[in-house]
Amino acid sequence: MIIDRNSPVPQYFQLQRWLVEQIEQGVFKPGDKIPTEAEFVHMAGLARATIRQAIQNLVNLGYLIRKRKLGTFVISRNANNGNRKIIGLLVPDIRVGYAPELARGAEDEAAKNKESLILCSTDDLFIKAEYHTERLIENSVAGVIFVPTAASDENNKLIVEKFTSRDIPVVLADRIIPGVKIDHVTTDNFNGAYRITEYLINNGHKKIAITLSTLFSSERERLEGYKKALADYNIPVDKSIIQTHDGRYSEKPYLDFARKLFKQSRKFTAIFAGHDRIAYLLSSVAADMGIKIPDEISIVGYDDLLPHCQHQISLTTMHQPIYEMGIESMKLINARINGLVSPGQSKVLKSYLVERDSVINRKK
């Protein structure tokens, strides 16, 4: 078994593909025990988490079965699969951000219906989304929940069309594809951003900086919500304290912006970070530069996913119901599979403000 560590194909999928080949070629027959995790570590030099993901996917697909204290065995797919539905879930990165919480919601809902879920990380790349799309189609998924990647709208549309052209329904989660009429479950990013900007204004802040990515529909909507709140309170937009980034998430542009911005701190009293990871980056730069949060600069975030107790500041933020988004996405894909709803359904979940200690009231 050879694992290509330079390949864009995830290592867990390389192992999964190798195992399927061995089963289909009769090397591993029904009833045979496959190597243990420790043996795979020795054979391929893979991390145990990678091995577990590959094996669990094959359990979900009906190739393998785990037997407590005995091991993992090959089974007859015809005998095991029955009418069990398999749903694909394409997320940016299962390790960080909102993807783990989204997946947990989807998995919990799938378990209620005795469905299997195949989880795929795209790393926000079209090439990986396309690769996983082909594999999900090969595995006869009944439906797909897809978080659009950082690729162009046209490329994301191509991913959707690969499924829908085969009558596989798709539900978009968190992000939409402009101009594409397709089922989606999102949160109200515009109003959420409006409300947290209004919160800063009501606390005496009129010079409010903002930094976020405009690559995704969710954050573009947050930028518009921020601008609308300023306009409604007759506060002019200052382009010099607005930074937008149009690439995949990377710390560098936000760190550079923070260092530049904090050198001219008299121009603003608060910063709205497009999501919590950015907010914590900004707070670390502020600490390095001797700027006190919130005494000198207030900071707010968006998402409420990271454990704030592990950071230097207790962050005021907008809470997104990501777990519920996973549940609702799974409910919607099942409704589509079962023909209970027409295409083009939209469900928008509400966010709410979580007030902690990163904002000072300047009216006092």
347 within some domain:
no
Tens place of pLDDT per residue across the chain (364 aa): 678 888 877 888 889 889 988 988 889 999 999 999 999 999 889 999 899 888 988 887 778 888 888 999 998 755 544 456 899 999 998 887 789 999 999 999 999 988 999 999 999 999 999 999 999 998 889 999 999 998 899 999 999 999 999 989 999 999 999 989 899 999 999 999 999 999 999 999 999 999 998 889 999 999 999 999 999 999 999 999 999 988 777 788 888 888 888 887 678 999 999 999 899 999 999 999 999 999 999 999 999 986 655 567 899 999 999 999 999 999 999 998 877 888 889 999 999 999 999 999 998 7
Of 63, 82, 101, the residue at which a domain comes to its end is 82
Q: Which helix (H) or strand (E) holds 66?
A: strand 64-67
DSSP H helices in the chain: 11-24, 37-44, 48-60, 77-81, 99-112, 126-138, 153-164, 189-202, 217-232, 251-262, 276-288, 322-337
Asked if 198 and 315 sit in the same domain, the reply is yes
For residue 120 the two structure tokens come to: 């795929």
108 within some domain:
no
Of 82, 99, 134, the residue at which a domain comes to its end is 82
pTM of the predicted structure, to 2 decimals: 0.75
Tally of domains in the chain = 2
Q: Counting beta carbons within 10 angstroms of the beta carbon of residue 139, is it exposed (0 to 12), middle (13 to 18) or buried (19 or more)? A: middle
Cα dihedral 281→283→285→289 (10° resolution): 180
Are 26 and 65 contacting, i.e. CB atoms less than 8 angstroms apart? Answer: no
Q: Counting beta carbons within 10 angstroms of the beta carbon of residue 23, is it exposed (0 to 12), middle (13 to 18) or buried (19 or more)? A: buried
Residues 6+ positions from 302 with CB-CB distance below 8 Å: 192, 193, 196, 222, 272, 273, 274, 275, 276, 279, 317, 318, 320
Are 105 and 91 contacting, i.e. CB atoms less than 8 angstroms apart? Answer: no
Beta-bridged to residue 350, according to DSSP, are none
The span from the CA of 218 to the CA of 320, in Å, is 12
pLDDT at 98: 87
The span from the CA of 57 to the CA of 60, in Å, is 5
361 within some domain:
no
Q: Which helix (H) or strand (E) holds 117?
A: strand 116-121
pLDDT at 313: 85
336 within some domain:
no
pLDDT at 78: 54
Q: Which residue segment(s) compose the domain that 30 sits in?
A: 1-82
150 within some domain:
no
Of 47, 82, 117, the residue at which a domain comes to its end is 82
**Bond from prior residue into 321 cis (ω within 30 degrees of 0):** no
Q: Which helix (H) or strand (E) holds 118?
A: strand 116-121
359 within some domain:
no
To which residue do tokens 């009833």 refer? 31
Q: Which helix (H) or strand (E) holds 213?
A: strand 208-213
344 within some domain:
no
pLDDT at 167: 86
To which residue do tokens 């709140």 refer? 229
Asked if 78 and 193 sit in the same domain, the reply is no
Cα dihedral 99→100→103→107 (10° resolution): 180
Burial call 304-334: b when 16+ CB within 10 Å, e when fewer: bbbebeeeebebbbbbbbbbbbbbbbbbbbb
Asked if 77 and 195 sit in the same domain, the reply is no
Per DSSP, the three-state class of 88 is strand
Question: For residue 14, what is the domain's CATH number?
Answer: 1.10.10.10
275 within some domain:
yes
Question: For residue 197, what is the domain's CATH number?
Answer: 3.40.50.2300
The span from the CA of 230 to the CA of 196, in Å, is 11
